[in-house]
Amino acid sequence: MNPLIHTRESGERVVRLTPGKRVLFLTKDPETIRAQLRGELDLSMADVDPADLLDDINTDTMTPAWVCFRHKPEDLALDAYAGLLDEAGERVFPTRALLDGGFEVIVSGQRKGTGSSRETAPQAEKWSGIHLVIAHSFAPIHERNNINLGQLMGGYDLLQRLQAGEELPLEAFTSEYDPVTRVMLESGGLFPFASQYRAGEVEVPLPATEPRPMTMGEKILASKLVGADGARSVRPGDVCLVNVDGGYSHEFTTAQVHHFLGLEYGDDYRVVNPDKFAIFEDHLLYATGVERMKPFEHQIQTLRDLQNAFQAHTGVRDYSATDGVSPGICHEVAREEFVDPGDFIQATDSHTCMGGGSNALTWGVGATEYAGLIHSGFTFVEVPESIRFELVGELDPGCTAKDVILEILDTYAKREDTLNRVMEFGGPGLASLSPDERATLCNMATECSARSGICEGDERLAEWVAARREGLSAADVAAGFVAPDPGAEYAGGVHTIDLGAIRPMVAEPGDPTYGKDVADLEPVRIDIAYGGSCTAGKEDDFEFYARVLQEALDSGRRVAPGVRMFVQYGSEAVRDFARGRGYDAIFEAAGVEVIDPGCGACIGCGPGVSDSKDQVTVSAINRNFNGRSGPGKLYLASPLTVAASAVMGTISAYRPGMFAEAMATADA
């Protein structure tokens, strides 16, 4: 039970601050935070301008990768906010700073908890004594993780009243939620709620929504309702229990799932339908090769051991590394092997939404929620709103889907149009994008703080899926397609994206939300060019890298002196495809370092990470939070831009013939 919730003699439940406990304001000025942590300064919401609060605090900041190597929440709390650094690169929160500060409320700006789905972030706050989280808005997975942990959330007005000495009715913090979520918060989180549900003390009735036109996401959820005896309709805000078609975890998260299941259900716990779920060894495979990860090798091995124990205990699909080589990144392998059109997939990683490129509804969840659904086979869902993007035209030869999503981030995500919504992609322009490129769009829906992304299905997708499923024809695949109904409602609106108007984009260091046309950049010299990750380790991405590098070789050029270029396969299937096309010879001739499948530099655990603050990387990964891929500055770009930049030595947009032109100019 949340200790801020009290029951009056009348039975009314109220929230009040604890005398002697403190409120921490995460401001844009690190020294103001430090003064609060040292006990030299206490602030009031009445005295703080919300514009001075930190926006876009991501979960990497709250619990960097090296903190996540600890799977017990009480150990995470020791280094809460270890990733919040000042301009000099120094930690703002020393070890035990939040834990020993006597705080019970933490306050920040817009979009709290962007980035990874790691539940370790709110766990670190809760086990440090935080029980009320105040922000202008929350990223959807982070908000759900707080709910699952029984953490109250609210806005600035509520905090101001609490600090003025008021007792507020509990409904002031829960009234915006559906009745089931309210019960969940009031009972202390997901596991206490699940106990009440099993005991028959609470129920989740089927939605009573009348038949209506639905979006793709709504139609998939409606088709999975637990206890439904026929066709049903849902609308945004409906509360329901939904059967899950499949899911997965990886060695960064499985240990917590195993730990929580044991605590809640005992050492002999079981999971339903283990053949529908999987474990992957992909995130930390190369961590032991990174110098700054050496102090954590023992903890990393513990995570591996616990994942192996979980797999042996449950019998879920096993995608562990063999002889040091991973089958691939979970999101890429999942779409290749078991994410099918019409599926509802849940996994412990924010980029689970990549599966939406295959006309499935997929999103990431925290370890608590995943433990609950893998034990029961279903999960609790509040139907999300949708926003639709109608694609028209075709991309310029120098652009990819990465440029499209960076443009969407800079335009729609920045003003929160995509926040907590399913991003639906369709229109005639979608046919010009391959299934791999559609996966890129959906993969980075989480960077838009969206709930998920989903693309319409077509013949091109049907053939792609059928080629990877034994015994399935394209017609079989197409039979499972889900399309939006005419007249479906989009709370986020319907927006037309002219693919022909897209130009090569980058996201400048610090956050993927803030994009810029490459043409508008001042010259940026680079030290590292990295192509890989779930976002950019697919077959099409390797075609992009090889195309640019072959053109460079034909013009007598290769990777520029002083630059290291890395490419890393997203899966063994991608590796075999690339080798079959002879791309390995192109990479060798161009001076590119090739890495076996895995997440690698994207998670800061593999070749391609920067080693010092003065290094500059241009990367095709999905997020560029400070410290995410080493201490240096990291620009996000498309595979084409990454490869062209590696050859030019500066961040450069690709255009056909650019290297021959450069040689001709040099000769002149």
Determine, yes or no, domain membership for 76.
yes
Clarify whether residues 185 and 270 are in a common domain: no
> 0.85 exceeded by the pTM?
yes
CA distance 508 to 559: 22
Q: CATH code at 240?
A: 3.30.499.10
Query: What does the pLDDT read at residue 556?
Result: 96
Between 36 and 324, name the one with better pLDDT. Answer: 36
The answer to whether 619 and 629 have CB atoms below 8 angstroms apart is yes
Listed residue (115, 121, 91, 80) closest to 30, CA to CA: 91
Average pLDDT over residues 322-333: 96
Last residue of a domain, one of 501, 517, 551: 501
* 346: in domain: no
Domains in the chain: how many in total? 4
Burial (CB count <10 Å: 0-12, 13-18, 19+), residue 90: exposed
Show the CA angle centred on residue 642, arms to residues 447 and 111, nearest 5°: 15
The CATH number for 183's domain is 3.20.19.10
Instruction: Tell whether 210 is covered by a domain.
Output: no
Q: Residues 372, 400: one domain?
A: no
| Residue 205 domain-assigned (yes or no) | no
267 and 186 in a common domain = no
- 90 CB contacts (<8 Å, ≥6 apart)? none
For residue 510, count other CB atoms closer than 10 A to its CB.
Answer: 15
d(CA 325, CA 281): 9
Note whether residue 171 is domain-resident: yes
Domain assignment of residue 422, yes or no: yes
Query: What confidence tier does 230 reach under pLDDT thresholds 50, 70, 90?
Result: confident
Within 10 A of 305 (CB to CB), how many other CB atoms are there? Answer: 12
Is 497 found in the same domain as 511? no
**Number of DSSP helices (H) and strands (E) in the chain, helices first:** 24, 25
Please give the pLDDT value at position 548.
98
397 and 479 belong to one structural domain = yes
Best CA proximity match to 442, nearest among 355, 515, 507: 355
Q: Are residues 463 and 517 in the same domain?
A: no
Question: What pLDDT does 289 receive?
Answer: 72
Domain limit, last residue, from 501, 518, 539: 501
Are 293 and 427 part of one and the same domain? no
Alpha-carbon distance of 421 to 109, in angstroms, equals 20
**In Å, what is the CA distance from 504 to each residue of 242, 398, 428, 470, 562?**
40, 7, 21, 38, 24
CA distance 567 to 485: 41
Mean pLDDT along residues 239-243: 94
- Domain housing 42: 5-198
- Considering only CA atoms, which of 657, 651, 625, 656 is closest in space to residue 638? 651
The answer to whether the beta carbons of residues 63 and 124 sit under 8 Å apart is yes
- In this structure, are 82 and 151 located in the same domain? yes
Distance from first CA to last CA of the chain, Å, rounded?
Answer: 76
Question: Same domain, yes or no, for 519 and 497?
Answer: no
User: How much is the pLDDT for 665?
Assistant: 62
DSSP summary character for residue 289:
G
| DSSP bridge partners of 531 | 567
Residue type, 660: A
Do 466 and 534 lie in one domain? The reply is no
Please write the tens of the pLDDT for every residue from 365-420: 999 999 999 999 999 999 999 999 999 999 999 999 999 999 999 999 999 999 99
Residue 11 sits in the same domain as residue 136: yes
- 351 within some domain: no
Can you tell me which residue has the tokens 């399913």? 422
Task: Using the predicted structure, report yes or no on whether residue 640 has a pLDDT greater than 80.
Answer: yes
